Structure 1
Amino acid sequence: MVEVVFEDSAAGSLRQALVGRYKVAEAGIVLYFREEGEDPLSPEEEAQLRAAERRRQQEEAQRQRQGWAESLPLPGQLGDILVFPLAHSVGEITEEGIGPQREAALRKVMGVYPFLAAEVAETLLARGRASHKALLDRAGQGEAVRVWTGPGPDDACGLAWLAHTLRPLGLEKVSVTQVVLPDFWERPDGTVIRWNSWGEMEPWMWGRLAQTGRRLPANLLRGLAGTWQDLQKENAPLRAVVNGRLMSVPEDWYDPFLRREIAARPAEFSAAQVVGTVLGKYQLGIGDGELTCRLEAMVQGGELQQVTYPGPRDPSYHCRLRKTPGVW
């Protein structure tokens, strides 16, 4: 069986799950970073801080041991993992396969890291293309496909794109099982966990959650493939999940969330804080690249003014912005 995921971080966790290897964090060096202008800690306060951090590390190590002890095996080999980190929710999608449109979209999304954008985009494209070839070869030979999807638009687009990609093989002939990221999970101790994507999944949970997978009927796959064809015809700059439905949206779709957080800040503010707040507070299932592009568009449109600039190896949102007087 081949295992399909749509982000590199998910593939990393899944690799650990397949090989069954894990490294439990042990208590080690505890570092404390003092903010500029903050009074130094007293020896007693520093000792208390270190002791609390060691306890936290020990508790986390115990949690990991218990997780692996209670885990269910997930059969497979590392070569079974096919990753498509192609950001299909962004950019043009009229092309078949993985071509220049995906390269342009990835370069745009990764542009938030200017010093790495070209290299990372090429790496992601290479992984996607290798996985694409393996998917067609192995599914064409009758091997089952298991796809792991979360609530984000890249996963929703990825599933529809996958169905469209498999269509030439005959959707009645292929076996596709979908495992949906659960809304929540309750641990034996009563702790409730909520994940935003498979990239956050603990390695020992994959085998257990694999039991929740459901095989997708040919007619459902056909409908998903049709959805992708409709989206291709619309070829919007962005796609989002709205009320559970994947649809084309304008490129400023996420702007209201940014504006809400900008409005709550003083005239001059940190772009990084705005991006981080929107990602954490609203759980939109997108990355920092899309939000940073929209902040840059607001600067270009005159809504915001750039006050400081990032260092040569900093993300582009490591800067300060100012609200344009009369606009806010």
Structure 2
Amino acid sequence: MIEIVFGDSACGSLKIAQRFGEGEYKGGCSGVMVIHSDGAKPTQAEIKAAQRKAEEKARLAWERATPLGGKTGDIYGFNLMLSIGDISEDQPGIKRRQTLEKLYSVYPGDTGHQAAQELLGRANENLKTVQERIAAGESLRIWYSNQPDELCGLYWLMEQLVQWKGLGAQVSIVRLPEWEAGENGSIVRKNGWGEVAPEEWHRYLALQKPVSLVFITSCAAYWRELQRENAPLRAMLNGQLVSMSEALYDDFILREIAAAGEVFQEAVIIGQVLGKYQLGIGDAWVAFRIEEMIHAGKLKAVSEVAKDSPIYHRLLKKGTHQG
């Protein structure tokens, strides 16, 4: 069975999940980070205790896991970030590359150009292979959620099936729940399949369901409508994926900036926006919008950025036109 996901993190986690929990646990390296709120340096004893705790957690996860099965060669990831930018192309091409380059431009050096080329090349190679395997009669399973990129990915892939005249293909979907019951009665929300740990994937197989021809053609038709609108953003609103302006998330960014001091760390604001509001967007888009606010005079950069760091590793100051 062909497995489809819409992000690199999800792709990596799913590949690990296929064999996670198989055989005896042999241990491994556990990286830990110990941070004190007062900025004090952690002791060696604290670091070792944190490592022991992390290793025990990893062992328990392995022993409790059920391997998902399958082959890594059956997993295809499409990290095209289709909720952002121009989607008018029938196949990922120069316009998608330009959007990816724009997003990755917040990272150092030539990272943006290289990353965009790599993502686009891999996506088109995967698309060709999936098309060939569908034509040969293989079935398809799509893992998606309400995260904008993943939902766009689902609609986009259904439209690809229509283009391929692959409407006879056996297609099933697994939708990530919006929330789950966690330990001690807590509520757990995951932003997308990239946040699902390898030991968790098998639990969601019970949610798999086949889709009908009507579902495929309906998704494809709606994607074509979104293509015609070709808005700067697509986002979930009242349970529907809709076209939106590029300023959609600005209020959340400005809210966190307003609560900060006169001078603040841009990276902290980005982290707060992503962590607090769970908008399903990445750091690059938030950084890009902050860059637009700098150009508009609402903010001012007051520190330099190291050549090997993203541009948002800097201090900003509120400008005279802020608000």
Residue correspondence of structure 1 range 102-251 to structure 2 within 5 A: 102-115=96-109, 116-170=111-165, 172-186=167-181, 193-251=188-246
Residue aligning to 1:6: 6
**In the TM superposition, what whole-angstrom CA distance separates every residue of 1:31-69 from its partner, at most 9, and x where no partner exists?**
76789x96677xxxx36xx24x54444343333333333
The answer to whether the 8 Å contact 2:297/2:320 transfers is no
CA distance in 2, matches of 1:149, 1:109: 22
Residue aligning to 1:61: 55
CA distance in 2, matches of 1:102, 1:226: 20
CA distance in 2, matches of 1:122, 1:171: 28
CA distance in 1, matches of 2:8, 2:164: 26
Residue aligning to 2:267: 272
Of 75, 78, 89, which aligns to 2:72? 78
Q: Per-residue deviation at 1:26?
A: 5.9
**In the TM superposition, what whole-angstrom CA distance separates every residue of 1:101-156 from its partner, at most 9, and x where no partner exists?**
11011111111113211111111112211111111111122211111112211001
Identity across aligned pairs (percent)?
37
CA distance in 2, matches of 1:184, 1:259: 27
Distance 1:97 1:326, change over 3 A: closer
Q: Per-residue deviation at 1:295?
A: 0.5
CA distance in 2, matches of 1:133, 1:219: 24
Asked if 1:91 corresponds to 2:77, the answer is no
CA distance in 1, matches of 2:15, 2:282: 22
Distance 1:309 1:26, change over 3 A: closer
- Alignment RMSD, CA only? 2.5
The answer to whether the 8 Å contact 2:252/2:273 transfers is yes
Local SS of the residue matching 1:178: strand
CA distance in 2, matches of 1:39, 1:279: 26
Partner AA of 1:222 in structure 2: T
Stretch of structure 1 that moved more, 12-21 or 224-233 = 12-21
Local SS of the residue matching 2:105: helix
CA distance in 1, matches of 2:122, 2:297: 38
Local SS of the residue matching 1:157: helix
